Structure 1
Amino acid sequence: MNTKSQLSIIKVRNTEMNCTSACNSNSSLVLIQMVVYIPVFITGSILNILALWVFCCKLSKWTATRVYMTNLAIADFLFLITLPFKIMFRVQNWKTPVCLFLESAYFINRYMSIFLITITAVDRHMAIKYPLKAKHVRSPLKSAVACGVLWVIMISIVCVTKYSEVRMQPIVCFRKCSIEPSKPAFASVIWGFVIPLTILSFCSIQSTKKLMRKKETHPNEKKLIQKAINIIFANMAVFIICFLPLHVAHFVRFIADSMKASCIAIHNIAHFLQVAGIIANTNCCFDAICYYLVNKEFQEASEIKYWTRTLNSEII
């Protein structure tokens, strides 16, 4: 190996050593995490436990939507359990196999939430647009099987990915220290956000169009139909607000690492990624609020003859 090559390798290694300081804890961001995550953990835990109690104990009949929402509540609750450990590992900067398990659980439940929200939108779209076909296609058992398959796929993908990352670099909890482009992070942007967002947007828009037409043909139920439309768009808005900044940050970091950006740029992107992660992690509270709104709306709708026939058979 000639002197020029050796100098080049030394330069790259020095750059990596300087840039990996981006993974060090920022005291301001750690404080923000604590301020946000403590109320999110308390509020989200109460809301999701309450949602599980209602879904599992108070409702008399299992439906396809109820199965999806129960799994979503489970995923959100398990995700909340990882938040205190996320703060702890940030403060202590521990590097142990336990943190690898907790980090895997963190990502499994985040993307389970995303895909369950997407599947629920598809299920709702089928029920609203094709009510007769949906009666033969949809069932609680099929929904339970779909959720089970999704859990197995998500756990397998995350565990294999984390195992591969550990073999490539030392364990550092809940942060990216390497300046090498992360292919799993890029894949999560495409498969974990862009594709679900596309499906969610299509289904929400189509469902809204169908409900708008029903609003014209059933003027007496205009107010109730409009509330259902508002809930659909509220769910979509929460999804975008919570998850768009995070996946934009992952994409920007992937581009920066690929183009060998300066350490200052990488530091700034790393901080943006942490802030975006804080925003994304509040989603588990908003999901629980949506459970309440949807069930309240269905409860009101069930008191009206038309909506007893349509909402209960098509949406639920």
Structure 2
Amino acid sequence: MSKQHEMTNNSMECDFEVIDKLADTIQYGISIPTFILGLPLNVLALSIFCRFWSRQTKTSVYMINLALADILLLLSLPLKLYYSTKAAPGLLCAFIQSLYFVNTYGSIFIIVCITVDRYICIRYPFEGRANQSPKWAILVCCFIWAVTWFCSSPMYVFQEKDELLCFHNMSKQAWSIPYIVSVEVFGFLIPLSVIVFCSAQNIWILLNHKNGAKKKAEDRSSLLVIIINLVVFLVCFTPVHLAICLQCLVRQHVIVDCNLKQKISLFIQVSMMVANLNCCLDTIFYYFAVREFREKARLKKIIELCPVFKPCAT
């Protein structure tokens, strides 16, 4: 994202040096633990899922792709940390930025697919369980990867060509209103609407189930997984998209107050770090939503000790 002290060369520009130093300190404090914790957890998840490829369902195919997206995003974090403080060629910056954003939005779309699949299984249990062939999920995931990589192509066009700090020198076209509106609508608002609708429907259905004591306990566990998944999505991705919207207003000179621009600069950098936490939090869903993964990861005793984490059946 752009540092506002590079937006203009006149003598009245804001000083963002203190803001940038603070953001760099926070970035190291959040991104390094995220990388250290998230990478081995997601590698473990991916390796276990792939060991049982012959028995994959739609949900597990989505989770394989989600783990892969999280791993690639986590691998981009060291590059992001290094080249956000050290100048690099524009083409290299474009690649690092596209790698970061492709896997961010790839994760969002795959989470949407998992949520929709869960909704179908709860809303139409017989049809949902009968239609668990992974072929459709594989095609959907291939489509998601193709679209996200294609949509990242403007990174190479919008990026300044000289040596620069990555994530800080996007050209004016990158902050144009049509481009930002497209990112906000298709990259966040539509996925958010789908997730909120499906989660609300699932919660309503589970709350109104009339079953035995054992089934009610499973429903309560399912409710916890659904609610936690929704809250994590909101907490991780809402701030960064609000920050992108505000930064667009800064770049369009709608927001001109220096103090407010400094706060937005800090907000957008911190919110990107918060979004990265989703890579770690996704693994909670793997552990407690997939029976085979749970068993092979040898977490049965942990789950027995902490029944609140008992997963719903997939």
Using the size of structure 2 for normalisation, the TM-score is 0.82
CA RMSD, 1 decimal:
2.9
Query: Displaced runs of 4+ in structure 1, greater than 6 A?
Result: 167-170, 297-300
Once residues 237 and 151 of structure 1 are traced to their aligned partners in structure 2, the CA distance between those partners, rounded to angstroms, is 25
Once residues 96 and 30 of structure 1 are traced to their aligned partners in structure 2, the CA distance between those partners, rounded to angstroms, is 21
Residue 96 of structure 1 and its aligned partner are, at CA, apart by 3.5
Residue 172 of structure 1 and its aligned partner are, at CA, apart by 4.5
Residue 177 of structure 1 and its aligned partner are, at CA, apart by 5.7
Equivalent position of 2:65 in the other structure: 71
1:35 equivalent in alignment to 2:29? yes
Distance 1:15 1:235, change over 3 A: closer
Alpha-carbon contact 1:20-1:179 (below 8 Å) kept? no
Equivalent position of 2:3 in the other structure: none
Specify the code of the residue in structure 1 equivalent to 2:246: V
Q: Map 1:64-213 to 2 at 5 A.
A: 64-135=58-129, 137-159=131-153, 161-166=154-159, 172-176=165-169, 181-183=175-177, 184-213=179-208
Alignment partner for residue 250 of structure 2, among 248, 256, 264?
Answer: 256
Residue 168 of structure 1 and its aligned partner are, at CA, apart by 9.5
Q: How far does the alpha carbon of each residue in 1:270-298 deviate from its partner, in whole angstroms, 9 at most, with x for none?
A: 11100111111111000112211223698
Once residues 43 and 15 of structure 1 are traced to their aligned partners in structure 2, the CA distance between those partners, rounded to angstroms, is 36
Using the size of structure 1 for normalisation, the TM-score is 0.82
Q: How far does the alpha carbon of each residue in 1:210-244 deviate from its partner, in whole angstroms, 9 at most, with x for none?
A: 22222x23333222210111001100100000111
1:17 equivalent in alignment to 2:9? yes
Equivalent position of 2:38 in the other structure: 44
Larger helix fraction of residues: 1
Specify the code of the residue in structure 2 equivalent to 1:163: Y
Distance 1:94 1:274, change over 3 A: same
Alpha-carbon contact 1:122-1:203 (below 8 Å) kept? yes
Q: Which has the larger radius of gyration?
A: 1
Once residues 252 and 127 of structure 1 are traced to their aligned partners in structure 2, the CA distance between those partners, rounded to angstroms, is 38
Distance 1:259 1:225, change over 3 A: same
Once residues 7 and 133 of structure 2 are traced to their aligned partners in structure 1, the CA distance between those partners, rounded to angstroms, is 56
- Bigger Cα displacement from structure 2, 273-282 vs 176-185: 176-185
Once residues 162 and 81 of structure 1 are traced to their aligned partners in structure 2, the CA distance between those partners, rounded to angstroms, is 19
Once residues 67 and 15 of structure 1 are traced to their aligned partners in structure 2, the CA distance between those partners, rounded to angstroms, is 44
Once residues 99 and 268 of structure 1 are traced to their aligned partners in structure 2, the CA distance between those partners, rounded to angstroms, is 25
Distance 1:176 1:272, change over 3 A: farther
Residue 24 of structure 1 and its aligned partner are, at CA, apart by 9.7
Specify the code of the residue in structure 1 equivalent to 2:51: C
Specify the code of the residue in structure 2 equivalent to 1:16: T
Q: Structure 2 regions of 5+ residues with no counterpart?
A: 1-5, 301-310
Once residues 37 and 224 of structure 1 are traced to their aligned partners in structure 2, the CA distance between those partners, rounded to angstroms, is 35
Q: Structure 1 regions of 5+ residues with no counterpart?
A: 1-13, 301-310
